[in-house]
């Protein structure tokens, strides 16, 4: 690999001149510029990022932390972040924490001496009980650019993008209520996750209109994968065979619930109306297509990146907290209860 020294030597100028040229700091005379260009070309030189990073104390590297990249929502968000970031010349380091906050800690800490330009952290399990407070606090003190997506954000410390899961679950549940359902079950996500907790609140708020005390409400703690959806559905139906409507948090668990109902020979929506929180292709594709309350998460990644970018360049933002509102997609898995 040729260095800036080699280029300078070959062009017959000083390294600083080449450096200036590279950083377009100044208008050099046509003549020297040509010499430099030629030398760079002949040597096939390109400046070393690491050396550059060492002196400038920054890099063009972003870190994106997700609980599970193989989950459709997260992989879409990451894709959009990467796409936006790439346009600005940033590269993205992906950290998959496997829903393990210790791993998250470790990963972030191991990167903290690499002049990372900024971080985007996506909601993780146990976020509610232990919002990585120590690390985040430290990052804040150090002034490191951090943006949060669907994450517990005490004291509103960091800019964030939030999907209003409270409202989404409220809407979903109210939809069933409007259709005449009274015996409505809710399969939550892992309640140590910020947005899952909010969803539960939304469910309770909606149910409060038709049910006097909370203890009557039919709630089973679920999770974010297919398997959890299957098992939770089974459990819920066993304990509460009277349900006519089912609200399921998270896309994958919804598909799990769908699968379980089909397997049990329970007809959707004849026997049970099924509605999910979160929108994916999957919900549209199964038969019958599933009614969902979802978000246009094509925007999430880009919005989060934009926030981060503003943070990095020190530009003030119009709004530090972006809350995305849900939309209901009525398909064929819910019916009027006569």
92 binds DNA (CB under 7 A): no
CB of 6 to its own copies, least distance (A): 14
Q: Please tell me what DSSP assigns to residue 290.
A: P
288 binds DNA (CB under 7 A): no
Say if residues 45 and 4 touch (Cβ distance below 8 Å): yes
Helix axis angle, 30-43 relative to 15-22, nearest 10°? 90
Dig out the tokens for 59 from the structure.
């890099």
Output phi, psi for 212, to 5 deg: -70, -55
- For its own copies, the binding residues (CB under 8 A) are 1, 46-51, 53-54, 59, 61, 68-70, 72, 75-76, 78-79, 82-83, 86, 89, 91-96, 98, 103, 107, 109-115, 226, 255-256, 258-259, 262, 281-282, 284-287
Dig out the tokens for 126 from the structure.
């146990």
Could you give the CA distance from residue 180 to residue 335 in angstroms, rounded to a whole number?
9
CB of 223 to its own copies, least distance (A): 15
CB of 308 to DNA, least distance (A): 22
Burial status of residue 72 (CB atoms within 10 A of its CB: 0-12, 13-18, 19 or more): middle
> For the chain, what is the total number of helices (H) and then of strands (E)?
13, 12
H/E element, 335: none
CB of 21 to DNA, least distance (A): 8
Q: Which is nearer to DNA, 115 or 329 (CB)?
A: 115
28 binds DNA (CB under 7 A): yes
Give the number of C-alpha atoms closer than 13 A to the C-alpha of residue 259, restricted to the C-beta side.
15
H/E element, 160: strand 160-163
Q: Which is nearer to DNA, 2 or 266 (CB)?
A: 2
61 binds DNA (CB under 7 A): no
51 binds DNA (CB under 7 A): yes
Q: Which is nearer to its own copies, 26 or 55 (CB)?
A: 55
Q: Residues 112 to 131: which contact DNA by CB under 7 A?
A: 113
Q: Please tell me what DSSP assigns to residue 128.
A: T
- Residue closest to 245 by CA, chosen among 215, 284, 271: 271
Residue from 34, 37, 42, 54 binding DNA (CB under 7 A): 54
Residue from 56, 213, 238, 270 binding DNA (CB under 7 A): 56
Q: Which is nearer to its own copies, 162 or 283 (CB)?
A: 283
14 binds DNA (CB under 7 A): yes
H/E element, 148: strand 146-149
24 binds DNA (CB under 7 A): no
Q: Which parts of this chain interact with DNA (CB under 7 A)?
A: 1, 3-5, 12-17, 19-20, 22-23, 25-29, 31-32, 45-48, 51-52, 54-57, 113
């Amino acid at each position: 690999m040729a260095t800036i020294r080699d280029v300078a030597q070959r062009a017959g100028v000083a390294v600083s001149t080449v450096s200036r040229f590279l950083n377009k700091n100044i208008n050099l005379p046509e003549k020297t510029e040509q010499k430099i260009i030629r030398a760079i070309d002949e040597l096939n030189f390109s400046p070393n990022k690491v050396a550059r990073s060492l002196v400038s104390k920054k890099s063009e590297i972003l870190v994106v932390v997700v609980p599970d990249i193989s989950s459709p929502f997260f992989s879409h968000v990451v894709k959009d972040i990467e796409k936006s970031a790439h346009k600005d010349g940033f590269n993205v380091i992906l950290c998959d924490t496997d829903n393990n906050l210790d791993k998250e800690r470790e990963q972030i800490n191991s990167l903290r001496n690499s002049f990372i330009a900024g971080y985007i952290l996506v909601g993780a399990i146990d976020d509610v009980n232990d919002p990585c407070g120590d690390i985040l606090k430290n990052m804040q003190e150090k002034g490191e650019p951090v943006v949060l997506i669907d994450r517990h954000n005490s004291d509103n410390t960091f800019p964030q993008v939030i999907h209003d899961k409270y409202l989404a679950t409220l809407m979903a549940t109210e939809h069933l209520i409007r259709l005449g359902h009274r015996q409505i079950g809710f399969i939550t996500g892992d309640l140590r996750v910020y947005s899952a907790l909010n969803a539960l609140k939304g469910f309770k708020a909606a149910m409060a209109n038709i049910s006097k005390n909370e203890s009557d409400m039919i709630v089973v703690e679920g999770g974010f994968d297919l398997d959890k959806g299957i098992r939770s559905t089974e459990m819920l139906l066993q304990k509460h065979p009277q349900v006519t409507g089912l609200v399921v948090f998270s896309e994958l668990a919804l598909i799990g619930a769908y699968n379980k109902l089909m397997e049990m020979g329970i007809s959707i929506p004849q026997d049970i109306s099924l509605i999910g929180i979160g929108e994916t292709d999957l919900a549209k594709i199964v038969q019958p297509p599933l009614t969902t309350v979802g978000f246009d998460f094509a925007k999430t990644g880009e919005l989060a990146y934009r926030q981060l970018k503003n943070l990095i360049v020190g530009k003030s933002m119009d709004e530090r907290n972006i809350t995305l509102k849900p939309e209901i997609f009525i398909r064929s898995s819910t019916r009027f209860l006569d």
